[in-house]
């Protein structure tokens, strides 16, 4: 089969089993777009801004486990995509981004819409390629998908100069069935000696904590994690990125850890004698003050990326490899121990944790008439039966969603944890809807974040991807305002959003349903009404309490046991 470069790009996607491409055309990708026009297998989704394309592909990838695919033009097309690429990079999301480039002959001449895409994206991709010959496109595409989806996943860019997609130049096409690269060998199973060492520590632990992260979700290790946790009866905490790998409603789950984690999770970490970190990278929002991180604990660290090991925290046993086979090997070793494994050994530890739990650290004032953001999330949970896919933007609403919507399944909670990208939520929700057309999808956002990628409401109408937008509108950049209250004597420098649009009318202008909810008693009925409209995108603008804070909180630079507790919690200073 002889194909042109443009056709090879699309045929490669087809052979890779790609269903959707999120993109935006422009001069340097017109040949590729013409190839899209002449086939029907790979469906193209025309976004309204390239940032939206990357976040939508990202949301699709997070919800489905399949790589997200983006197609944008050179210059501004590529630069607009950078925020979304960096977002995916920080959270290790598999993504292949095809960028047009100016013709080879004019590269370096400051040609129209020319930018050094390879140079600009180099620090925020797993790898990138500039393809120089039409005959190299197929193999490069194969490499891109292989790199993006194997080992520690991440975004890969394929930058393609316009001249090599010329429809008049055809070359024989064959998509490689397999690819190997001498410079890249992702780890598979873990070292059995290390696994045995880990199990020895597990056997001796009196105050253990399982600290599970996004790697368990990405590595499809949720079932094995559940089995391990239940076999051991150890308390389980999860990072923001790991929520759902272990069920959020399970009594063994002690809540999220870190800056806005629960009191019980952070106190358990601080007092633990064994931390089992699985697919987690000891992010600064998790560790707090590194010097005082888990001062009494031995640490086991399981990760697919050797560079994650001992990057922030020195560990006692490191196991490098894919989470699933490692957990299976670990389970096999633990089963060997069955006769001597003593579950009663940690009974006192559970008693202690239950005391911490009794502080009810996330309690908020339920007596006021104003709409508390936490209340909205609780009602959202109730109305969706805890079954929805939730995307979020970044800020207070993100933390409230993570705290008050317990996820029982992996891939249901989709947020920008590493980069913290405002504007992520709405296009990501659209991407989720492409992956799961029949599922309830909600985007929890705020009036600040939603305005950063609002234009995708238009795409959502065009492609009929109904999402419920839960706008927790407090008129402030809430998290900024909270930090200014705590650290800057309430000098609210530029955190108040004036001249906000009427979101109801705005949603209607985009052809969707808009609702404004001003009273607490209207919250649940509004949500029920919105979710009953299965085929409509509904924008619910909740006018919430303007000064609510996210509690508990570990201030930057503080340790796990040094938490600020909310006024409604039962925490007393003289408690242990």
Neighbouring CB atoms inside 10 A of 314's CB total 10
| Active site (annotated) includes residue 396 | no
| Active site (annotated) includes residue 40 | no
| Strand 236-238, strand 253-256: pairing | parallel
Q: What is the DSSP letter of 493?
A: T
End-to-end CA distance of the chain: 73
**CA 270/CA 264 separation, integer angstroms:** 10
- Cα angle 166, 168, 172 (rounded to 5 degrees) comes to 90
Q: Give the active site residue among 14, 43, 66, 113.
A: 113
Q: Give the active site residue among 162, 298, 372, 433.
A: 162
Element (H, E) at 44: strand 43-46
| Active site (annotated) includes residue 479 | yes
State the minimum distance, in angstroms, from the CB of residue 315 to another protein. 12
Q: Give the active site residue among 1, 39, 112, 311.
A: 112
| Active site (annotated) includes residue 352 | no
Return the number of the residue (116 or 524) whose C-beta is nearest another protein. 116
State the minimum distance, in angstroms, from the CB of residue 159 to another protein. 10
State the minimum distance, in angstroms, from the CB of residue 150 to another protein. 11
Distance from chain centroid for Cα 306: 21
State the minimum distance, in angstroms, from the CB of residue 23 to another protein. 24
State the minimum distance, in angstroms, from the CB of residue 447 to another protein. 34
Residues 6+ apart with CB under 8 A from 28: 73, 74, 75, 77, 100, 101, 102, 113, 161, 162
Return the number of the residue (140 or 549) whose C-beta is nearest another protein. 140
Residues 6+ apart with CB under 8 A from 482: 396, 549, 550
State the minimum distance, in angstroms, from the CB of residue 54 to another protein. 21
Residues 6+ apart with CB under 8 A from 297: 209, 269, 272, 273, 274, 275
State the minimum distance, in angstroms, from the CB of residue 267 to another protein. 28
Return the number of the residue (307 or 509) whose C-beta is nearest another protein. 307
Q: Where are the alpha helices (DSSP H) in 38-124?
A: 50-64, 76-90, 117-121
DSSP β-bridge partners for residue 514: 539
State the minimum distance, in angstroms, from the CB of residue 413 to another protein. 27
Distance from chain centroid for Cα 406: 16
Q: Is 391 helix (H, G, I), strand (E, B) or coil?
A: strand
Q: What CA–CA distances, in Å, run from 487 to 78, 308, 333, 493, 564? A: 38, 32, 49, 12, 13
Return the number of the residue (310 or 533) whose C-beta is nearest another protein. 310
Return the number of the residue (118 or 169) whose C-beta is nearest another protein. 118
Return the number of the residue (119 or 567) whose C-beta is nearest another protein. 119
Return the number of the residue (123 or 385) whose C-beta is nearest another protein. 123
Return the number of the residue (309 or 442) whose C-beta is nearest another protein. 309
Q: Give the active site residue among 95, 269, 479, 515.
A: 479
**CA 387/CA 362 separation, integer angstroms:** 22
| Active site (annotated) includes residue 252 | no
Residues of this chain that bind another protein (CB under 8 A): 118-119, 122-123, 126-127, 130, 147, 181-184, 305-307, 309-311, 314
Q: What is the DSSP letter of 210?
A: E
Residue with token string 């490669």: 12
Annotated catalytic residues are: 50, 112-113, 162, 479
């Amino acid at each position: 089969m002889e194909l042109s470069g443009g056709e090879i790009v699309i045929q490669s996607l087809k052979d890779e089993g790609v269903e959707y491409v999120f993109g935006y055309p422009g001069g340097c990708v017109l040949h590729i777009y013409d190839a899209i026009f002449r086939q029907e297998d790979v469906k193209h989704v025309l976004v309204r801004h390239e940032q939206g394309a990357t976040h939508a592909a990202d949301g699709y990838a997070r919800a489905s486990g399949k790589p997200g695919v983006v197609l944008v033009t050179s210059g501004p097309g590529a630069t607009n995509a950078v925020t979304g690429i960096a977002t995916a990079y920080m959270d290790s999301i598999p993504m292949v981004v095809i960028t047009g480039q100016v013709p080879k002959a004019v590269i370096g001449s400051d040609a129209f819409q020319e930018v050094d895409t390879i140079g600009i994206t180099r620090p925020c991709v797993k790898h990138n390629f500039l393809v120089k010959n039409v005959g190299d496109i197929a193999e490069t595409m194969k490499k891109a998908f292989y790199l993006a989806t194997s080992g520690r996943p991440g975004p890969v860019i394929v930058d393609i100069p316009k001249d090599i997609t010329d429809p008049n130049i055809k070359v024989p096409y064959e998509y490689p069935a397999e690819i190997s690269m001498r410079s890249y060998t992702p780890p598979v199973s873990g070292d059995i000696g290390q696994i045995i060492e880990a199990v020895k520590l597990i056997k001796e632990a009196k105050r253990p904590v399982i600290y599970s992260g996004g790697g368990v979700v990405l590595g499809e290790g949720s079932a094995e994690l559940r089995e391990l946790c239940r076999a051991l009866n150890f308390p389980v905490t999860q990072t923001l990125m790991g929520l759902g790998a272990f069920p959020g409603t399970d009594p063994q789950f002690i809540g999220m850890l870190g800056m806005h984690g629960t009191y019980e999770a952070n106190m358990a970490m601080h007092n633990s004698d064994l931390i089992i970190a699985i697919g987690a990278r000891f992010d600064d929002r998790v560790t707090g003050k590194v010097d005082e991180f888990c001062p009494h604990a031995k640490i086991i660290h399981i990760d697919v990326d050797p560079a994650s090991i001992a990057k922030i925290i020195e560990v006692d046993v490191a196991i490098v490899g894919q989470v699933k086979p490692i957990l299976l090997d670990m389970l096999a070793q633990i089963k060997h121990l069955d006769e001597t494994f003593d579950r009663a050994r940690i009974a006192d530890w559970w008693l202690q944790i239950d005391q911490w739990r009794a502080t009810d650290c996330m309690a908020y004032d339920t007596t006021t008439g104003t709409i508390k953001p936490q209340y909205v999330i609780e009602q959202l949970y109730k109305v969706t039966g805890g079954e929805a896919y939730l995307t979020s933007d970044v800020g207070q609403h993100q933390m409230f969603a993570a705290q008050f919507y317990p996820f029982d399944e992996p891939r249901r909670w989709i947020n920008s944890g590493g980069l913290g990208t405002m504007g992520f939520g709405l296009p990501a929700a659209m991407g989720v809807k492409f992956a799961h057309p029949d599922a309830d999808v909600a985007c929890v956002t705020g009036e600040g974040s939603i305005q950063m990628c609002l234009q995708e409401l238009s795409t959502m109408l065009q492609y009929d991807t109904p999402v419920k937008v839960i706008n927790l509108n407090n008129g402030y950049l809430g998290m900024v305002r909270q930090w200014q209250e705590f650290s800057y004597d309430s000098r609210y420098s530029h955190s108040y959003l004036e001249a906000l649009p009427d979101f109801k009318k705005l949603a209607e202008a985009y052809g969707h349903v808009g609702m404004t909810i001003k009273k607490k008693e209207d919250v649940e009925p509004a949500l029920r009404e919105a979710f009953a409209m299965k085929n409509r995108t509904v924008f619910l603008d909740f006018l919430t309490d303007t000064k609510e804070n996210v509690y508990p909180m570990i201030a930057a630079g503080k340790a796990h046991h040094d938490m600020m507790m909310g006024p409604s919690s039962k925490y007393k200073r003289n408690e242990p």
